[in-house]
Structure 1
Amino acid sequence: MRIAFIVWEFPVLSETFVLNQITGLIDRGHQVDIYAHIQGNTTQVHPDVNQYQLLERTYYIPTIPRNLIGRLFKGIQLFHASRQKNPELVWRSLNFFKHGSRAASLWLLYAITPLLDKEPYDIIHAQFGTDGLTGLSLREAGAIQGKLITTFRGYDISTYVKEKGAGVYRQLFQKGDFFLANCEFFRQAAIQIGCDPARIKVHGSGIDCSRFRFTVRQPSPDGVIRIVTVGRLVEKKGIEYSIRAIAELLKTHPTLEYNIVGDGKLRQPLQRLIDTLGVGDRIKLLGQKSQQALIEILDRSHIFVAPCVTARDGNQDAPVNVLKEAMAMGLPVVSTHHGGIPELVEDGISGFLVPERDVAALGDRIGYLIEHPERWSEMGQAGRTYIETHYDINQLNDRLVELYQQVLEVPQDFEGDRSQAAGVSPSSWLLASSFFFPPSSP
């Protein structure tokens, strides 16, 4: 199969769930091209990016100047350069009678640039709901051909819907071919705003368990209990609450060590909180780490904490991959009743779940694990078994190929019933505002 992945940014060190699907499909003999709005950090990448030479398969939408004059001047240059390759498509991209402000703003002219000389695809897989809007726009302009599948992963079905309104995906639900959600929690969220329940399935984000060696957790000879959190330093990760919980626990367990791996806009506020609480010698912000460095940190740790919360803008998490990686390595976990996490962590079996933002409950469950190291082994083994059963990337990639094949078997006239060209409706103008400067992935 010829498969196009549409993403916001590539490569992204934290989005191993996208990378695992790409490499899995390539290993199975399929051709995968990647279309991204922006280029990510290419100096610190996952090893698979280089091993599979993925940057050679990646095509980027030219940067769209926010300044109207600059946008127009660059658009004229793109028009003349692109017209030589595919004049019919270039002219269609400027048809604002059909495509509304997507064309009038020149977004469509910029967006078709990487697709001017591409053959049709069997599958177009948009990795977030917002990418599905991009894929739909490009397909309706005739820039890309193929069955359109959209995955909902978190931000796109929580914050984005809250910002844009419940109708933001109305046209996508009508004209897209199939939909996936990375957990049942987000599948239900999509159904609630209009997705046909018969055309959306749960397809979890998998990990390669062979890369995460299971270890029976035991207290260290030096008496230090090492606790770790991994995640972007943003509100929905709830790291403020774990810092406060650990700071309180340090009063009775002074040998604790708490390492926080990740970076983000809350780094300075979190560091100030650590300094204010006077625990800078025991709680460390380690910044972003490579995959191998992260594995080494997890390997030295005893307890994993994921204190996720629903952000004020509505942003919520799915069963996050790094939590799966920690469980695969045998770490007992403490997390929250949040988003899709209860679908991953079995309360009392592989770890504990507490209410969001409940510092006391968080501290109580972490404290229990500190004082009962004999539970680490059974919880760690339960977590490893659950990950192997439900989130093995090889099994999930086999299922993904099967799903692609099933979507391809749907008669073309069925797709046509849902894909009649529409005029410029009020909802299309709403979509156009997100097309011009689509939001970044969560």
Structure 2
Amino acid sequence: MKVAFFVAHFPVLSEPFIVNQIVGTIERGHEVDIYSLDGRPTNISKVHPLVEQYQLIERTIYAPTRPNNELWRWVKGLSLLLLNFPKNPAVCLQLMNTSRYVSQAKSLKMLYRALPFLEKKSYDIIHCQFSTLGVFGVWFRQLGLIEGKLISTFRGADISKFLPKWGEKVYQELFQETDYFLANCEFFKNKAVALGCDANKIHVHGSGIDCSKFFFKERYFPNDGIIRIATTGRLVEKKGIEYVIKAIAQVAKHHPHLEYNIIGDGELKEHFQQLIADLNLNHIVKLLGWKQQKEIVEVLDKCHIFVAPSVTGKDGNQDAPVNTLKEAMAMGLPVISTRHGGIPELVEDGVSGFLVPERDADAIATKLTYLITHPEVWEAMGESGRACVAEKYDMNKLNDELVDIYQQIVHNQLAQKYLVKTR
């Protein structure tokens, strides 16, 4: 099969789930092209090891980067339009059709994203990795720029944050024109069905991890007495990290021998630095910045507890069962997370870890205190977490399933086992 992956930017260190699916498709003998529809990322100094191993950048076709400055965006856009006009005059004119594509034409997003397709592309499968990109897949196919079966995946922001801004009918054309849908958890599948997606055309297909890279280790109270806690995630509102920092301040009053490692970067870094200083936690809380997978494993290997405090953003943004939790659970760490989005599908409260309400630093502090004072539960929780991840989120099993779905769709013989799960 020939498979095209539509992504916004590629590669992005915080999206290993996309890399895993791309590599899984290649490993199973299929031809893959990657379309980075928003151009090149500004910084690729650190990339997932599989990007280099499989030379994925060489497989990537980059749309022109759309400038933030409106004047320069138009100057560059019109220049690109004139330069490429002879390739497909009729379509070039349609890309500027504001009555059809409204804001996507007015902002020139339609033009910039469509330029790599002016000379028609043909694939067996076109897999749009977020459904906001699936909308463009539908339009490009309608314009005759690309042909193939369309799959669109609901991953999180596209079925939460996107809706308050654009309205609940924004996906009606997508639901009608797309051949099949995936959702990375039951929570988002149910939201898609409630919005109008045919329940017989959507299947829950989780994001997998390579369990062999996240080796299991039983956790015991450390000889040096220092309890090491970790969080991995972007430093943005949705990840809820500030509530763990506040919880650490409470816990440290009674259990001062703590170390809290935050792996990641983002727009709230300066805010967190100030919060850490205000709470006199500079000796406990460490902002480690972005890390590659191997470096993350090295940090988690030394830790005893993992916290993933996701919250619903003010813009409505929500999480699926996050891969960082799966990685920590695969390594045997007891976890604390929130009753949020699809996370309860991953973490069984009281079994593999604890679930607390969103934005509740007191509740996080209570569960941290319990785990610190009851290290005898760490081993059982770690074993339960590892078993869950190995059963439901093993990357190789999920990639086998994904390629099977591709083949079923190409041959118009979607397996009954997927249809039954959606009824």
Shift of 1:321: 0.4
Shift of 1:292: 1.3
Letter in 2 for 1:7: V
Shift of 1:64: 2.9
Match of 2:323 in 1: 321
Shift of 1:102: 4.9
- Which of 180, 183, 188 pairs up with 2:182? 180
Cα distance between partner residues in 1 of 2:250 and 2:103: 54
Q: Which moved more, 1:282-291 or 1:77-86?
A: 77-86
- Is the CA contact 1:124–1:147 (under 8 Å) kept in the aligned structure 2? yes
Cα distance between partner residues in 2 of 1:361 and 1:108: 46
Match of 2:284 in 1: 282
- Is the CA contact 1:183–1:202 (under 8 Å) kept in the aligned structure 2? yes
Cα distance between partner residues in 2 of 1:96 and 1:297: 50
- Within 5 Å, give how 1:325-364 maps onto structure 2: 325-364=327-366
Cα distance between partner residues in 2 of 1:170 and 1:286: 42
- Is the CA contact 1:147–1:408 (under 8 Å) kept in the aligned structure 2? yes
Compared CA separation, residues 72 and 18, structure 1 to 2 (3 A) = same
- Is the CA contact 2:371–2:378 (under 8 Å) kept in the aligned structure 1? yes
Asked which structure has the greater RCO (Cα within 8 Å, sep 6+), the reply is 1
Compared CA separation, residues 355 and 409, structure 1 to 2 (3 A) = same
Shift of 1:8: 0.9
- Is the CA contact 2:40–2:65 (under 8 Å) kept in the aligned structure 1? no
Cα distance between partner residues in 1 of 2:297 and 2:11: 20
Compared CA separation, residues 385 and 277, structure 1 to 2 (3 A) = same
Cα distance between partner residues in 2 of 1:228 and 1:68: 41
TM-score scaled by length of structure 2: 0.92
Match of 1:129 in 2: 131
DSSP-derived class of the 1:244 partner: helix
Q: Which moved more, 1:84-93 or 1:396-405?
A: 84-93
Match of 2:40 in 1: 39
Letter in 1 for 2:24: G
Cα distance between partner residues in 1 of 2:297 and 2:244: 21
DSSP-derived class of the 2:203 partner: strand
Shift of 1:118: 5.2
- Which of 206, 209, 213 pairs up with 2:208? 206
Q: Which moved more, 1:116-125 or 1:11-20?
A: 116-125
Identical pairs, percent: 56
- Within 5 Å, give how 1:90-109 maps onto structure 2: 90=92, 93=95, 102=104, 106-109=108-111
**Gap regions ≥5 residues in structure 1:** 412-442
Cα distance between partner residues in 2 of 1:62 and 1:367: 51
Letter in 1 for 2:30: H
Letter in 2 for 1:9: H
Cα RMSD over matched residues? 1.9
Shift of 1:162: 1.3
Cα distance between partner residues in 1 of 2:181 and 2:295: 35
- Is the CA contact 1:108–1:138 (under 8 Å) kept in the aligned structure 2? no
Q: Which moved more, 1:81-90 or 1:302-311?
A: 81-90
- Within 5 Å, give how 1:237-276 maps onto structure 2: 237-276=239-278
Match of 2:17 in 1: 17
Q: Which moved more, 1:259-268 or 1:115-124?
A: 115-124
- Is the CA contact 1:94–1:104 (under 8 Å) kept in the aligned structure 2? yes
Shift of 1:367: 1.0
- Is the CA contact 2:21–2:399 (under 8 Å) kept in the aligned structure 1? yes
Letter in 2 for 1:64: R
Q: Deviations over 1:194-244 (max 9, x none)?
A: 111111111000001011111111122211110001111111111111111
Match of 1:26 in 2: 26
- Within 5 Å, give how 1:30-429 maps onto structure 2: 30-36=30-36, 37-40=38-41, 41-65=43-67, 70-83=72-85, 85-86=87-88, 89-90=91-92, 93=95, 102=104, 106-117=108-119, 119-410=121-412
Cα distance between partner residues in 2 of 1:173 and 1:34: 23
Q: Deviations over 1:137-171 (max 9, x none)?
A: 21122111111111011111111101111011111
Shift of 1:356: 1.2
